[in-house]
Structure 1
Amino acid sequence: MFIETETTPNPATLKFLPGQQVMPSGTRDFATPEEAEASPLAQALFDTGEVTGVFFGGDFVSVTAAPGVAWSDLKPQVVAVLLDHFVSQAPLFAGSGTGNGIAVPPEDAGDIGNDEGTEDIVAQIEELIETRVRPAVANDGGDIRYRGFRDGVVYLAMQGACSGCPSSTATLKHGIEGLLKHYVPEVKEVRAA
């Protein structure tokens, strides 16, 4: 088995591609060792002591190194953990048996909600995020979650490599905000949630 790596716009995060499916659907973000307890793979990565974030996408795992950690030192450890996991076909989540069973928290955790009577606007926003934004963000080793639409403001949460990335504010403000304002005139601003 060969695991490819790709850089991301976030210098602290590398994207690892095992050449097979990681998540059958959706994504999962682990920002703390406590959250990582839900996944033996995420926990093993945090157990290196040099990882501060793990993100599972459809066909990749993004790993964020702790401040001051050199990727030249951490990368071989991460590749070894990933190889062990995928070669042994270990379960991705605790208590899921073998394979990639999913124990994912509700997607609406942290939602801000929508103004009443904005169902059509929200549907347009969600479609644009799904078809135009999410694929581009996934290429960079992350994901984006819609959190709500209130008073003309769209609330989005960046995950994976995009969370904490130096260019995430620019991505939200100049990229996503411009796109949404162009297609949905009711959108006045985009904010991180």
Structure 2
Amino acid sequence: MFIQTEPTPNPNVLKFLPGRDVSSDPRDFVNVDEAAASPLAEALFQVEGVKGVFFGYDYVSVTRDAQGLEWPQMKAPILAAIMDHFVSGAPLMRGGAFDSASPEGDDSEIVLEIKQLLDSRIRPAVAQDGGDILFDAFDEETGVLSLRMRGACAGCPSSSATLKAGVEQMMKHYVPEVTRVEQVI
């Protein structure tokens, strides 16, 4: 198995591409307790310096502690953990351990439009950088759209620029009811 690595705009996140599907539903693990839901995430958190793990559709993003080890010291044990997991045939998630981050419900027409735009145009672009953006809320009175950043996007120095220059402009263009986009932390 050959696993490629790619840098992301966030210097503390590295993207690992195992050359196969990883997760049909992106998953974010920000601590070792959450990682217990996944054998792979749990193994990655055992690598010294790992601070976060994100499963994308065809990649794994790993966040390192900025004050800890450098990527050259961490890359080999991370690659080994990913390779061992996929070669073993173990499931990505332990049974029923994780619910989707976006609850289903009776969404308004505007919210459905926003979610469709996120899924079709924005999330695929953000995934190229090892991250994800999720719908959090939309205030129809003020037009404020709240989004949640995950993976490489969470804590990235350029995430606010991505939100304002990219996402906000696109949302305002296609969904005129959106007046502003904010990041939920």
> Would you say same fold, with TM above 0.5?
yes
State the distance in 2 between where 1:60 and 1:104 align: 18
Deviations 1:17-60 (A, max 9, x none): 1111111x211000011100111110111111310000001111
State the distance in 1 between where 2:147 and 2:11 align: 22
Of 120-129 and 130-139, the range deviating more from structure 2: 120-129
* 1:136 paired residue number: 125
Return structure 1 stretches of 4+ with deviation > 6 angstroms. Answer: none
* 1:108 paired residue number: 102
What stretches of structure 2 of length at least 5 have no aligned partner?
none
* 2:63 paired residue number: 64
RMSD of equivalent CA atoms: 1.8
Q: CA deviation at 1:104?
A: 2.2
Deviations 1:61-83 (A, max 9, x none): 00011113200100011001111
Local SS of the residue matching 1:15? strand
Q: What is the TM-score of this pair, normalised by structure 2?
A: 0.92
CA contact under 8 A between 2:147 and 2:182: conserved in structure 1? yes
* 2:75 paired residue number: 75
* 1:28 paired residue number: 27
State the distance in 2 between where 1:124 and 1:105 align: 23
Q: CA deviation at 1:183?
A: 1.4
Question: What are the residue-to-residue correspondences of 1:44-193 with 2, within 5 Å?
Answer: 44-68=43-67, 69-94=69-94, 96=95, 103-108=97-102, 119-150=108-139, 151-193=142-184
Q: Count residues in correspondence.
A: 181
Local SS of the residue matching 2:73? helix
Deviations 1:102-141 (A, max 9, x none): 63224237x9x99xxx812112211111111000011111
Local SS of the residue matching 1:178? helix
Q: What is the TM-score of this pair, normalised by structure 1?
A: 0.88
Q: Structure 1 counterpart of 2:128, which letter?
A: N
Local SS of the residue matching 1:122? helix
Q: Structure 1 counterpart of 2:178, which letter?
A: V
State the percentage of identical aligned residues. Answer: 53
Q: Structure 1 counterpart of 2:28, which letter?
A: D
Local SS of the residue matching 2:146? strand
What stretches of structure 1 of length at least 5 have no aligned partner?
97-101
Local SS of the residue matching 2:176? coil
State the distance in 2 between where 1:54 and 1:107 align: 15
